[in-house]
Amino acid sequence: MNEPILHASHVSIRFGGLQALTDFDLQVAPGELVGLIGPNGAGKTTAFNVLTGVYRPTSGEVRIAGEKVSGRRPNEIAARGLARTFQNIRLFKELSVLDNVRIACHHRAKVSWLGSVLGGPASFREEAAIRERAMEHLETMGLADRRDELAKNLPYGEQRRLEIARALATGPRCLLLDEPAAGMNPQEKAELMELIRWIRDRHQLAILVIEHDMKLVMGVCERLCVLDHGVRIAEGTPDQVRRDPKVIEAYLGTSGSGSEGGGGASPVGIVGGDAGDGEGGIEAREASR
């Protein structure tokens, strides 16, 4: 693996008597597309919150391109190249679609606040450049024709895409997507899968994805990290992970040696749909959540 753009090392976090993450390790290389998966309550969003500075880890450290960022504020971490979306959409709902993205572009503005208030030539040039950059991101996400609408009036799937556009506008080196396909129909999910790949290739980003749709995450990610009760239980390619007995047990409540009914199905049959009616396994289990 190349030198990681994002590296979590032995990260643990405790809330009172609850150990939410235990000795969590993760490396994401530049340009890599990685999935973070696990059953409900596994600690995936907690891991995102630690990586992005929402939570301070009890122990361990997080580094971006070799620089230690654990303990820093979220805006400081964002300035170092880590951007995210949220499991529950967090847009500026009373602002226009364009303004939601323009705000993120100001993250890297050069003109001082006083210069912006006075409105000198440098400020006008920068505002024009910010608008142009924001429109490029809206074009990427298929939202350019919605630029003047209030964010709250967008359909749910388009609000998801607006959140991704806003995250991209911060100029990240690593993009964290927390359940980006939530609320989308099958066609939208298929389009999202292609869009995630295109974003990675177009912007040369590393991308870390939390997603419950196993068809999407196993189709788009090159490597998966699996959490269960705050502990990493497996890591590898999608094919390796779907065959891992610990993963099967975490999702289905049974070991890879047999089905819950003792039918002796193989790990491939249980998880990959290669046996039986093809509708069972992790994919079906997650789809029902």
pLDDT value of position 241: 93
DSSP string, 48-62: HHHHTTSS--SEEEE
At residue 106 the predicted structure's pLDDT band, cuts being 50, 70 and 90, is confident
Bigger pLDDT: 164 vs 280: 164
pLDDT value of position 123: 65
Bigger pLDDT: 13 vs 111: 13
On whether the CB atoms of residues 26 and 62 are closer than 8 A, the answer is: no
pLDDT value of position 115: 57
- Residues present in the chain in total: 289
From edge to edge, which strands make up the β-sheet containing 6-15? 18-28, 6-15, 59-64, 67-68
Determine phi and psi for 193, rounding to 5 degrees: -60, -45
At residue 113 the predicted structure's pLDDT band, cuts being 50, 70 and 90, is low
* 241-260: burial string, b at 16+ Cβ within 10 Å, e else: bbbbeebbebbbebebeebe
Answer positive or negative: Cα dihedral of 145, 148, 149, 151: positive
In 3D, which of 104, 38, 107, 49 has the Cα closest to residue 73? 49
Question: Angle at CA 75, nearest 5°, toward 135 and 93?
Answer: 50
pLDDT value of position 215: 86
Side chain identity at residue 248, one-letter code? I
Mean predicted confidence (pLDDT) in 132-146:
92
In 3D, which of 26, 6, 25, 23 has the Cα closest to residue 66? 6
The Cβ of residue 162 has, within 10 Å, a number of other Cβ atoms equal to 25
pLDDT value of position 146: 95
- How many helices and strands, by DSSP H and E, does the chain display? 12, 10
Question: Angle at CA 83, nearest 5°, toward 73 and 285?
Answer: 110
The Cβ of residue 190 has, within 10 Å, a number of other Cβ atoms equal to 15
Bigger pLDDT: 267 vs 2: 2
Over the stretch 169-224, which tens digit does the pLDDT of each residue have?
999 999 999 999 888 888 888 888 898 999 999 888 999 999 888 888 988 999 99
Over the stretch 119-133, which tens digit does the pLDDT of each residue have?
667 666 777 888 888
DSSP conformation class of 150: B
At residue 228 the predicted structure's pLDDT band, cuts being 50, 70 and 90, is very high
The Cβ of residue 24 has, within 10 Å, a number of other Cβ atoms equal to 25
% pLDDT > 70, the chain? 81
Separation of alpha carbons 32 and 215, rounded Å: 19
Side chain identity at residue 18, one-letter code? L
Q: Quote the mean pLDDT of the chain.
A: 84
Over the stretch 155-170, which tens digit does the pLDDT of each residue have?
988 999 999 999 999 9
| Structure tokens belonging to residue 10 | 């032995």
pLDDT value of position 3: 82
Separation of alpha carbons 35 and 286, rounded Å: 14
DSSP conformation class of 15: E
Residue 83 has pLDDT above 90, yes or no: yes
